[in-house]
């Protein structure tokens, strides 16, 4: 049992003062008492503004090691997502299981320090460098589970089904050999992960058919009945849309809408290039659009149609994908400001009932991210995970702000980090802005990076 007393906390009904948050032995919130005036016992005081921990709905952890290392102009000078992908293929061949675990732990510690308290790990780095499976097919996935446990972050592990190199059934690229499985090999990985996290409330398991470029319709139908989160990349790049049109006569999201049982289990990662009908139809399914704004900007993907999607009551969450950014505030900022650049407008993600874009974006990301994770989280309420982020109101970014105005300052002001403490599953994992195991995690990461860069 643990308890926390928040001076100010964002509850489902709005901001409240002197909020006692009680946590059970499994890490779930058992009671929330606003306006608490009685004894606090051993409750830990959180003197700042406390918000729910933010779910990160899309991560390829190994790419943290190459963030910032794929920026150099190519000799041809026509750089794009597709040339970046070639660099990624060359880099990915270097990873050992130990390297993968060390890099993931560093990433997850950084996420926690910035306010992400759960991660959906879209995991496709399955095999040895030559493409042969490890003796335990789930070895690499289990390394990410171990990294999450070391860092103390919640996780939805999403083993990725990846078999082909283009729509539908084209031969894979040589650089993809570590990713490839048939349905039986993939199922063995899923079962290995299930066993590794069984009974642990900090974990859930979903499936990730990689994309229409990587699986066939038959493979998609084989996994579509899964009763849990199903994540898939969709319509990230114009070239992907063109190839899908040429192969099927339909755009990628339209193909999914007409051929898959899209519902609240599904998460369409990126969904950048949608036409008017796809915007409306995707929103109506109850599926989540998984937006990764800093990565989408870095790779030149394009800009998601947020205003149209919100008008259609569409659900979205945020992820960090390639980890050129690891902070929820920066993802939300990039999401909003990209709309401003395109539309020559300001305060795009707002409504009359809530004129503050910081809170509007945060609450949408909390709800969509919780749905995408398949875990009970996303708010400070009984029955949900005790994932709390304390913002330091004395930090220079936030001085003089409170409530929704403070959230606007967090998202839209400066580059420093005003997160003071983080609680994940009822356990304190960040104190004074630093992860409680930061030194040990950094030491292993440093050794891994020296090997990878040698």
Yes or no: say if 393 and 50 are a contact pair by the CB < 8 Å rule: no
- Nearest CA to 321 out of 301, 300, 293, 302 is that of 293
Q: Label residue 215 left, alpha or beta by phi (over 0 means left) and psi (-120 to 50 means alpha).
A: beta
**Known catalytic membership, residue 408:** no
Residue of 60, 123, 270, 395 marked active site = 270
Torsion of CA 220, 223, 228, 229, to 10 degrees: -30
Residue of 321, 387, 404, 408 marked active site = 321
DSSP per residue, 299-354 = TT-----HHHHHHTT-EEEE--BT-S---HHHHHHHHHHHHHHHHT-S--S-BTTB
Q: How far is CA 222 from the centre of its chain?
A: 25
Provide the β-strand partners of residue 232. 268
**Known catalytic membership, residue 270:** yes
Task: Give the integer Cα–Cα distance in Å for 357 and 351.
Answer: 8
Neighbours of 307 (CB within 10 A): 15
407 class by beta-carbon count within 10 Å (0-12 exposed, 13-18 middle, 19+ buried): buried
Q: What are the structure tokens assigned to 316, written together?
A: 């979205």
DSSP per residue, 204-227 = EE-BEE--TTTS-HHHHHHHTT-S
Torsion of CA 367, 373, 379, 384, to 10 degrees: 140
Q: Which residues, including other chains, have CB under 8 Å from residue 268's CB and lie 6 or more apart?
A: 232, 234, 235, 253, 256, 282, 287, 288, 289, 290
Q: Label residue 77 left, alpha or beta by phi (over 0 means left) and psi (-120 to 50 means alpha).
A: left
Catalytically annotated residues: 270, 321
């Amino acid at each position: 049992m643990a308890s926390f007393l928040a001076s100010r906390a964002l509850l489902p009904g709005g901001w409240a003062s002197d909020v006692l948050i009680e946590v059970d032995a499994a890490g779930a919130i058992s009671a929330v008492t606003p306006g608490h005036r009685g004894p606090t016992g051993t409750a830990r005081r959180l003197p700042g503004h406390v918000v729910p921990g933010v779910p990160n709905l899309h991560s390829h952890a190994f790419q943290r090691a190459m963030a910032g290392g794929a920026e150099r102009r190519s000799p041809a000078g026509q750089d794009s997502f597709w040339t970046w992908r070639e660099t990624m293929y060359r880099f990915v061949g270097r990873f050992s299981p130990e390297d993968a675990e060390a890099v993931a732990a560093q990433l997850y510690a950084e996420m926690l320090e910035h306010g992400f308290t759960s991660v959906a790990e879209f995991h496709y780095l399955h095999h040895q460098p030559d493409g042969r499976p490890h003796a335990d097919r789930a070895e690499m996935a289990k390394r990410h589970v171990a990294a999450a446990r070391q860092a103390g972050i919640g996780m939805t592990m999403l083993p990725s089904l990846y078999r082909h190199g283009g729509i539908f059934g084209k031969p894979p690229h040589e650089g993809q050999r570590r990713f490839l499985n048939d349905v039986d090999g993939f199922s063995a990985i899923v079962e290995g992960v299930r066993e590794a996290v069984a009974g642990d409330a900090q974990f859930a398991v979903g499936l990730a058919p990689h994309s229409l470029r990587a699986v066939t319709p038959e493979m998609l139908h084989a996994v579509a009945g899964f009763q849990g989160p199903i994540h898939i990349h969709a319509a990230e790049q114009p070239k992907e849309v063109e190839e899908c049109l040429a192969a099927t006569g339909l755009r990628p999201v339209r193909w999914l809408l007409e051929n898959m049982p899209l519902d609240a289990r599904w998460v369409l990662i990126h969904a950048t290039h949608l036409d008017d009908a796809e915007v409306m139809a995707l929103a109506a399914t109850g599926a989540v659009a998984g937006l990764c704004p800093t990565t989408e900007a870095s790779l030149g993907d394009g800009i998601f149609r947020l205003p149209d999607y919100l008008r259609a009551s569409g659900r979205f969450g945020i992820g960090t994908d390639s980890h050129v950014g690891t902070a929820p505030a920066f993802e939300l900022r990039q999401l909003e400001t990209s709309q401003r650049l395109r539309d020559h407008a300001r305060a795009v993600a707002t409504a009359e009932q809530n004129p503050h874009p910081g809170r509007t974006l945060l609450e949408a990301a909390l709800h969509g991210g919780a749905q995408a994770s398949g875990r009970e989280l996303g708010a400070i309420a009984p029955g949900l995970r005790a994932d709390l982020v304390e913002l330091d109101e004395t930090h220079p970014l936030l001085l003089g702000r409170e409530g929704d105005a403070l959230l606007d300052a967090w998202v839209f002001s400066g580059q420093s980090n005003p997160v003071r403490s983080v609680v994940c599953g009822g356990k304190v994992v960040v104190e004074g802005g630093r992860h409680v195991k930061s030194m040990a995690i950094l030491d292993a990461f440093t050794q891994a990076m020296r090997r990878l860069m040698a």
